[in-house]
Amino acid sequence: MKKSWIVLIVIALLLVIGYSSVKNSYNSMVSQEEGVAAQWSNVENVYQRRADLIPNLVNTVKGYAEHEKETLAAVVEARAKATSVNINPEKLDAQSLQQFQEAQSGLSSALSRLMVVVEKYPDLKANQNFLDLQAQLEGTENRIAVERRKFNEAAQAYNTTIRKFPKNIMANIFGFEKKIYFEAEKGAEKAPEVQF
């Protein structure tokens, strides 16, 4: 009789330990997945900040550079395209992230062309509103880089967790999928040519 009680206690203890292990692993994966989603929201937030600054920047430049309508229109169009691309953090895959990055890259390119145009207008370059907007935009670009790095770190921690044994088995059972990383744009490894 004592042996059967001991066996039952051991089985109950193993079940409690097993349940606790599965519960802790599952909750850890959920927490990390939510961390990735929260960090993605931070990335979108700083991109939105940049998009919100652009109309003010365009209006400031417009007052000085009336005949640069094509460049200004390109910036407005790129902003509209960039803000129209929305990604659900739960469905973050390579294709959707690439689409998002292409739209943001188009906006960055249009802003770069706008800054080149600004060089032609010394009065505009001295305008305090323009200088403030330019400083805010530069700060936002730095924030974007920081938030993208943090997103990659959160995705790496999550991906590492769901790929390690035995959590990989539970991740497959519960449907946890690998998250994609931000990557440098193609051609970013080449330094731009500077000619004097």
Q: What are the tens digits of pLDDT across the range 88-100?
A: 877 778 888 888 8
pLDDT at 115: 84
Average pLDDT of the residues in 133-147: 91
Which amino acid is it at 15?
L
Nearest CA to 157 out of 183, 175, 173, 178 is that of 178
Are 61 and 72 a contacting pair, CB within 8 Å? yes
pLDDT at 192: 45
pLDDT at 113: 84
Q: Name which residue leads in pLDDT, 124 or 142.
A: 142
Residue 193 has which token pair? 């040519």
Which amino acid is it at 178?
K
Q: Name which residue leads in pLDDT, 146 or 116.
A: 146
pLDDT at 34: 94
Nearest CA to 153 out of 68, 52, 43, 62 is that of 43
Residue 73 has which token pair? 């229109």
Distances (CA, A) of 13 to 2, 69, 97, 175, 193: 16, 75, 46, 28, 68
pLDDT at 187: 55
Distance CA 17, CA 19 (A): 6
Distance CA 117, CA 66 (A): 11
| pLDDT category of residue 139 using cuts at 50, 70 and 90 | very high
Kindly report whether the global pTM for this prediction surpasses the value 0.75. Answer: yes
- Maximum average pLDDT range among 15-29, 54-68, 73-87, 176-190: 15-29
Distance CA 93, CA 177 (A): 10
The CA angle 181-182-187, to the nearest 5 degrees, is: 130
| pLDDT category of residue 191 using cuts at 50, 70 and 90 | very low
Distance CA 181, CA 97 (A): 8
Domains of the chain in start order, with CATH, are 44-144 (1.20.1270)
Are 110 and 129 a contacting pair, CB within 8 Å? no
The CA angle 190-151-76, to the nearest 5 degrees, is: 65
Average pLDDT of the residues in 109-118: 85
Average pLDDT of the residues in 139-162: 94
Residue 4 has which token pair? 């059967």
Question: Does residue 185 register a pLDDT over 70?
Answer: no
